[in-house]
């Protein structure tokens, strides 16, 4: 069970490698999902029933999601058998949505007509990059052009479009990642996922890493790049529903993750970094001699408090030391999540998160004024 909010839950069904003839350099679905066998309709029904029995008895939104990256590459009769199970639950009103992930080159009109027949709501495409050199070096087996064609066709048929991108792929860099993000924004997706590239056991990327032909991003590099991307998507009102690979028993450093910027709370690191940048940019406009030795009080929505403080109070410590504050106090207040109230003695101000993000993106020349 994946809970995205207290009222929204996903029932994940992993279909590793089924339907995919490609082995991207970074991919080992068996390691990532912990599964090595094909999924049957009986498995799908059992998984749905097991999850439904654990959900709270109130009005909640439940989606069944087929993960694995190549669902529409499966034989059509198998697709029908697998989709028939969640369709039954949707018709009964026991779930509200069906979503799946697939490749851009596995989308055509025939496929979309089939998915319409089984009331699929959301189709996520594993884009990874919109730089053709990066796609080629990563062994993706599709071009950037196919991403645009598939995305537009999915939206034309009335599906919700989800797009997934990766940073730190072979041949990738910050500028190429920002280009990809901007292009995803131009496609106006329903949602986006961002994954830093990890070196997984038994992949070609592991061989490249051992042979010193691939150098993964450090955790700091990954956080810094993803910070720019997450701010960019937020500025253009694109919902980023996942940042970083979800930890499992296998997906941890020292187990199936050989190297790369893995952290079990990767998104929190990124969100904390965003608040660090916002507060630093805001406070930096003040005369340091005036604010030195003062106590600064911050009020924010309760959901933002831990990210504002930073992991192990890292943001509080950084700002306190840089500006030589006496103390930083952070309190919960019933205000919108995009608003921060700041008090310094007789100074009071309100920070708008989105406005500060826009200022940062313009100052860094990520977007034009």
CA distance linking residue 345 with residue 170, whole number of Å: 51
- The mean-pLDDT minimum among 54-68, 100-114, 309-323 falls in 54-68
pLDDT score recorded for residue 33: 44
Considering the domain architecture, whether residues 113 and 186 belong to the same structural domain is answered as yes
Considering the domain architecture, whether residues 352 and 331 belong to the same structural domain is answered as yes
Domain end point (choices 231, 264, 297): 264
Query: How far is residue 80 CA from its own chain's centroid?
Result: 28
CA distance linking residue 325 with residue 39, whole number of Å: 58
pLDDT in tens, 176-219: 999 999 999 999 999 999 999 999 988 889 999 999 999 999 99
In a domain, 369, yes or no: no
pLDDT in tens, 292-337: 999 999 999 999 999 999 999 999 999 999 999 999 999 999 999 9
Average pLDDT score over residue span 111-132 = 97
In a domain, 130, yes or no: yes
CA distance linking residue 243 with residue 224, whole number of Å: 13
Does pLDDT of 56 surpass 50? yes
Terminal Cα distance for the chain, rounded: 43
Does pLDDT of 250 surpass 80? no
Considering the domain architecture, whether residues 347 and 254 belong to the same structural domain is answered as no
Higher pLDDT, 339 or 55: 339
In a domain, 82, yes or no: yes
Phi-psi region of 212 (alpha: psi -120 to 50; beta: other; left: phi over 0): left
Considering the domain architecture, whether residues 213 and 244 belong to the same structural domain is answered as yes
Secondary structure (3-state) at 77: helix
Per the structure, the count of domains in the chain is: 2
Confidence band for 35, pLDDT divided at 50, 70 and 90:
very low
Considering the domain architecture, whether residues 260 and 283 belong to the same structural domain is answered as no
Q: Which residue has the tokens 């999915």?
A: 154
Candidates 152, 154, 134; CA nearest to 143 is: 134
pLDDT score recorded for residue 58: 74
List Cβ neighbours of 162 (8 Å cut-off, separation of 6 or more).
99, 101, 122, 123, 124, 125, 189, 190, 191, 192, 193, 241
Query: What CATH number has the domain bearing residue 317?
Result: 3.40.30
Considering the domain architecture, whether residues 316 and 203 belong to the same structural domain is answered as no
Confidence band for 31, pLDDT divided at 50, 70 and 90:
very low
Considering the domain architecture, whether residues 225 and 312 belong to the same structural domain is answered as no
pLDDT score recorded for residue 256: 86
Candidates 75, 73, 136, 137; CA nearest to 103 is: 73
pLDDT score recorded for residue 253: 61
Considering the domain architecture, whether residues 336 and 256 belong to the same structural domain is answered as no
Half-sphere exposure of 6 (CA within 13 A, CB side): 2
Domain end point (choices 239, 264, 289): 264
User: Alpha helix locations (H) across 118-192?
Assistant: 132-137, 144-156, 174-186
Phi-psi region of 9 (alpha: psi -120 to 50; beta: other; left: phi over 0): beta
**Containing structural domain, residue 307:** 272-363
Query: What CATH number has the domain bearing residue 23?
Result: 3.20.20.70
Does pLDDT of 255 surpass 80? no
Percent of the chain with pLDDT over 70: 90
Is the four-CA dihedral 168, 169, 174, 178 of positive or negative sign? negative
List Cβ neighbours of 153 (8 Å cut-off, separation of 6 or more).
107, 108, 109, 112
Half-sphere exposure of 153 (CA within 13 A, CB side): 19
CA distance linking residue 48 with residue 50, whole number of Å: 5
Domain end point (choices 264, 295, 312): 264
């Amino acid at each position: 069970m994946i809970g995205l909010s207290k009222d929204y839950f996903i029932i994940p069904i992993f279909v590793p490698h089924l339907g995919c003839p490609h082995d991207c350099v970074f991919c080992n679905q068996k390691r990532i999902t912990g599964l090595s066998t094909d999924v049957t309709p009986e498995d799908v029904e059992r998984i749905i029933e097991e999850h439904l029995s654990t959900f709270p008895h109130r009005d909640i939104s439940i989606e069944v999601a087929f993960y694995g990256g190549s669902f529409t590459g499966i034989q059509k009769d198998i697709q029908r058998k697998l989709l028939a199970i969640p369709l039954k639950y949707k018709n009964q009103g026991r779930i509200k949505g069906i979503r799946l992930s697939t490749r851009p080159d596995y989308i055509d009109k025939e496929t979309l007509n089939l998915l319409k027949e089984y009331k699929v709501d959301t189709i996520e495409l594993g884009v990874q990059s919109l730089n053709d050199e990066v796609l080629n070096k990563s062994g993706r087996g599709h071009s950037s052009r196919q991403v645009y064609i598939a995305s537009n066709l999915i939206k034309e048929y009335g599906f919700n479009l989800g797009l997934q991108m990766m940073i730190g792929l072979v041949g990738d860099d910050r500028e190429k990642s920002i280009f990809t993000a901007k292009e995803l924004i131009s496609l106006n997706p329903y949602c986006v996922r961002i994954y830093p590239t990890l070196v997984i056991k038994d992949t070609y990327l592991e061989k490249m890493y051992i042979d010193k032909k691939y150098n993964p991003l450090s955790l700091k590099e990954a956080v810094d790049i993803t910070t720019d991307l997450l701010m960019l998507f937020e500025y253009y009102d694109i919902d980023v529903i996942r940042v970083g690979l979800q930890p499992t028993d296998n997906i941890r450093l020292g187990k199936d993750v050989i190297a790369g910027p893995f952290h079990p709370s990767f998104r929190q690191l990124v969100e904390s970094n965003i608040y660090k940048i916002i507060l630093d940019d805001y406070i930096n406009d003040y005369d340091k001699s005036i604010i030195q030795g003062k106590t600064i009080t911050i009020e924010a929505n309760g959901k933002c408090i831990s990210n504002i403080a930073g992991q192990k109070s890292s943001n509080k410590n950084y700002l306190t030391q840089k500006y030589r504050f006496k103390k930083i106090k952070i309190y919960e207040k019933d205000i919108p999540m995009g608003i921060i109230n700041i008090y310094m003695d007789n100074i009071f101000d309100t920070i708008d998160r989105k406005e500060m993000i826009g200022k940062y993106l313009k100052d860094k020349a990520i977007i034009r004024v």
